[in-house]
Amino acid sequence: MPELPEVETVRRSLAPHLVGRTIATATLNRNDMVAGERSPHALLQGAKIQRLDRRGKQLAIIARDGRVLIVQLGMSGQMLITKPLDPLPTHTHAVWTTGKPATAILFRDPRRFGGLTTLATVDQLSQVWATLGPDGLNITGDDLWKVIHTSNRPIKAALLDQSVVAGVGNIYTDESLFGAGIHPKANCARLSQARIKRLARSVVRVLTQAVEARGSTLRDYRDADGQAGSYVAMHRVYGRASLPCTVCGLPLSRTVVAQRTTVFCRRCQKL
């Protein structure tokens, strides 16, 4: 579900409900959704929230005293604002409440590919995020070239690797490669530095526009206020197999790269 634009939209929609507020209660319905300490305290009970940060697809809720909760939405995860007495939707794994105005924040994730990680210090967050590549909104051609120009993987596999670029998933990989005119199976090491620079610019452009559109809602994705994103209407390849290419009119091709469904234009994205 959520790639960088969706997680950024969740961050922005969640922040007004949390920043500056104190968590009154933190309750966990499933232990196996949490890595690290699982006490209410570790889950931010009693904490005053200072800010919400994001790196790639990871969202961090950071308390004044340094406690951190990392939220990963996986494929079907949601952070939802409700009222404390509203019935809980199915697959709600954790609930936080704040007072004035009384608010409940839910973490639900039907497929359970997502999860929460508790950390005691912001320093630990830096260590976790040091394993990720540069955030997709800031990736530069030099960054990208440095880490992939010796790799023998198909370029799509490299873009999906969170240690190369943080935040790009299956939708935005295909959209970025189309924007740069690069075939998803192109071998990294055979791409010129100029084409890799062009690809980095395409990644930034696609992600920026998708954030402006509040992300792509294929089916489940909603921001914290339950609002859908509208970027699907701007997809040029993802979900458009066999429909005409928006540039040349040729029916778009479907293939599999890195075990993921891949859509591209075989005329605009030559090997």
Based on the residue annotation, tell me whether 175 is a catalytic residue of this protein: no
d(CA 180, CA 208): 15
Alpha carbon of residue 163 to chain centroid: 14
Q: Which residues in the 41-100 window bind DNA by CB under 7 A?
A: 56-58, 72, 74-76, 90-91
Q: Retrieve residue 96's tokens.
A: 């936080």
25 binding DNA? (CB under 7 A): no
Q: Please report how close the Cβ of residue 101 comes to DNA at its closest, in angstroms.
A: 28
d(CA 156, CA 134): 17
Q: Please report how close the Cβ of residue 90 comes to DNA at its closest, in angstroms.
A: 5
Query: Residue 67: is it exposed, middle or buried by C-beta count within 10 angstroms (0-12/13-18/19+)?
Result: buried
d(CA 62, CA 68): 5
**Nearer of residues 23 and 157 to DNA, judged by Cβ:** 157
Based on the residue annotation, tell me whether 2 is a catalytic residue of this protein: yes
13: left (phi over 0), alpha (psi -120 to 50) or beta: alpha
**Nearer of residues 97 and 209 to DNA, judged by Cβ:** 209
**Nearer of residues 16 and 113 to DNA, judged by Cβ:** 113
Q: What is the helix (H) or strand (E) element at residue 94, kind and residue range?
A: strand 92-98
Q: Please report how close the Cβ of residue 22 comes to DNA at its closest, in angstroms.
A: 29
d(CA 235, CA 230): 10
Q: Please report how close the Cβ of residue 259 comes to DNA at its closest, in angstroms.
A: 4
Select the residue interacting with DNA from 25, 97, 138, 151 (CB under 7 A): 151
Based on the residue annotation, tell me whether 57 is a catalytic residue of this protein: yes
**Nearer of residues 23 and 148 to DNA, judged by Cβ:** 148
d(CA 185, CA 253): 13
**Nearer of residues 6 and 8 to DNA, judged by Cβ:** 6
Select the residue interacting with DNA from 110, 122, 198, 230 (CB under 7 A): 110
Select the residue interacting with DNA from 29, 39, 65, 113 (CB under 7 A): 113
**Residues 112, 195, 260, 266: which is the catalytic one?**
260
57-64 long-range contacts, CB within 8 A, separation 24+? 57/2, 57/3, 57/4, 57/7, 57/162, 57/166, 57/167, 57/169, 58/7, 58/128, 58/129, 58/132, 58/166, 59/7, 59/10, 59/11, 59/14, 60/125, 61/18, 62/122, 62/125
Q: Which residues in the 173-192 window bind DNA by CB under 7 A?
A: 188
3-state secondary structure at position 155:
helix
153 binding DNA? (CB under 7 A): yes
Binding mask 205-234 for DNA (x = CB under 7 A): ----------xxxxxxx-------------
Q: Retrieve residue 75's tokens.
A: 């494929």
> Which amino acid type is present at position 43?
L
Please tell me the count of residues contacting DNA according to CB under 7 A.
39
Stretch that binds DNA, among 100-108, 138-146, 206-214, 254-262 (CB under 7 A): 254-262
Active site residues: 2-3, 57, 260
- Give the binding site for DNA (CB under 7 A): 1-3, 6, 56-58, 72, 74-76, 90-91, 110-113, 151-154, 157, 160, 162, 169-171, 188, 215-221, 258-261
